[in-house]
Structure 1
Amino acid sequence: MSKLENIKSKVNEAEDFARKIWLAGLGAYGKSLDEVQGRYEKLNAEASKVFDDLVEKGTKIESETKDKIKEKTNVEARVAEVRKKLGLDKPDMEQKVEELSAKIDALTAAVAKLADKQAKS
């Protein structure tokens, strides 16, 4: 082998080695890209599942809350109906109830005094 052929052979080996280094770099880039894409897809799938679970939980809570509000509204309607039947739905009725309570308290005190006087006699 001549000196010129020897140099060409070394240059070819160097070019071949440089090309292999380039290809190894591209392979590493491709492999890391595949791994990142796989992780992204996995995270995306997990995030979708978490989101769907949250939507399902929210739907359940919304339904339960609506039922409770409906129950409370029904109870309040029943209380209002009873108050109306008893005539307690008028604004001045509470004042009248307080006045009647005061009169009952006064009568109770008066009866107690009379009973005390009779007992002493």
Structure 2
Amino acid sequence: MSNDKKSLKDVSSQAGELAKSIWLAGLGAYGRAYDDAQEVVEKASKESPRLFKELVEKGNKLEAQAREKLGDVSTIGKTASIEERISKMRASLGFGHTASADDIERLEKKLDALSKKVDALTKSSASAPATAAPKAKAPRKAAAKKAPAKKAAE
């Protein structure tokens, strides 16, 4: 049994050493990950001021471009009235020129003249159907009389 005790003792010591090795490997992995993370943090902290400066420069350029474009827009709004801007927009869209007060007055006069003519026509057409209706009925009666006469003659 002493042999069995020795082999059991060897196996248990080997298992203990293996467990300790596994534990130390895990601890080493943790230490290495921590060291790598520290390097990344240090590198980022060294690069962050440079990156920040680059972002600020880019922002300044974009702000200057935006102010330039907004400046163009704001001067348009200050120099042109709403009517001028509308006429420019219509011209750019191809709607042609806008009507002036004279054009509108001329069109109103034409519209009044046309309304008077339409009123006159409706008044004359209201009295015309009473005289025109009997004329339309008379030919029909004559045609109806001739047709039975032919049948009787035959």
- TM-score, with length taken from structure 1: 0.47
- TM-score, with length taken from structure 2: 0.40
* Higher Cα Rg, which structure: 2
